[in-house]
Amino acid sequence: MKSPTLQEIVDVIGTEEAAKIVSQIGGVTYYFPPDGADSAHVAIEQTAWQAMCQHFSGWVYVPKGFVDKLAARNLEIRAKRAAGAHIIDLAIEYQLTDRRIRSICGGVRVENARRLKKAEGNFVDLD
C-alpha cells in the first residue's frame, strides 16, 4: 500500500482535483487500477483520474489533508499576531481558546505594534 502526501497528489493532478479527491475519499485506502478503469466513487476529471492511476497504481491511502490545513491556519494566525492582532480577537475569529492561540503563536513578538498603540493613547492590553 502506498501513502502519498497531499503535496505529492497535488504535484500529480493539481490543487483543484486533489481537493476533490480529498473531499470525496480522504482518509480511505482506495484502489487505483493500473489500466485507469473508471471509478464509481470518485468524481474528478478523466485526465486527473488517469494520472492518479498511472502514478499511484494499486492500493493507496488518500490523506485527509488535515495536517496541511492546520499548518496553514497556524501560519495565518502567527502572521496576524505579528501584525498586531490581539489574542482574544484571534481566538474568536478561529474559534479557539486564548491558550491555544498563545500556544500556536509561541514566541511571535508584537512589541512595535504595542508601542504604536500606547503612543496613540488607545492601548488596551487584551493579552
The one-digit pLDDT tens for each residue of the chain (127 residues) are: 888 988 899 999 998 899 899 889 999 999 999 998 877 778 888 899 999 999 999 999 999 877 778 888 999 999 999 999 999 999 999 999 999 999 999 877 775 455 545 555 554 555 4
0.75 surpassed by pTM:
no
Q: Where are the domains of the chain?
A: 6-64, 67-120
The answer to whether the CB of 102 falls within 8 A of the CB of 109 is no
pLDDT score of 8 = 92
pLDDT digits (tens, 9 = 90+) for 43-59: 888 899 999 999 999 99
The answer to whether the CB of 73 falls within 8 A of the CB of 103 is no
Helices 46-55, 6-13: axis angle to 10 degrees equals: 130
